[in-house]
Amino acid sequence: MIEKYELEKDISVMYVEADSFPLGIKAAFEKLEEVIPGKEERTFFGISHADKSGKIIYKAAAWEKYEGEGESYGLEIFRIGKGVYVGELISDYKNNISLIGNTFQKLLKDPRLDTDSYCLEWYKGCDDVLCLVKLGDRIQNLNIPNPN
């Protein structure tokens, strides 16, 4: 079921970019887990968007425990922006990976989306993933009457 979620502050993550999509995703997460310690204590994300040519760029990411952590491991940093997202939780996604793509196809049909946003997978434990796409700021202005 699609619901709204609000991130009250930016989340800083460190990431490894996949060589390809979707085939390079697993290798990107494996490389990330090799570089950072304590994977059992981490929150992981998948961040994807299409470039100008339509090619999907995918980042396997983990929440930074402290500012500058990613740089200390030689990793790139990405900031997941605060704001309102639409999303859907998928339980036991490993038994049907295609549910992630299907869910994003459904979420991307929402006309209120931020056109510059990205698809965000927020991994919740070992079995669940929350698929999110950010809503645009313009949605907050829809109910303001015209002053003229």
- Which of 25, 51, 55 shows the shortest CA–CA distance to 129? 25
Would you say residue 72 lies in a domain? yes
pLDDT for 48 equals 97
Would you say residue 64 lies in a domain? yes
Termini Cα distance of the chain: 40
Say what percent of the chain tops pLDDT 90: 78
**DSSP code string of 33-58:** HHHSS-GGG--EEEEEEE-TTSPEEE
pLDDT digits (tens, 9 = 90+) for 47-67: 999 999 999 999 999 999 999
71 three-class SS:
helix
* Domains in the chain, number: 1
Would you say residue 146 lies in a domain? no
Whole-angstrom distance, CA of residue 81 vs CA of residue 27: 26
Q: What is the pTM of this model?
A: 0.88
Q: What is the CATH number of the domain that holds 57?
A: 3.20.80.10
Would you say residue 98 lies in a domain? yes
Which residues constitute the domain of residue 131? 3-139
List helix spans (H) across the chain: 25-35, 69-72, 98-107
Would you say residue 91 lies in a domain? yes
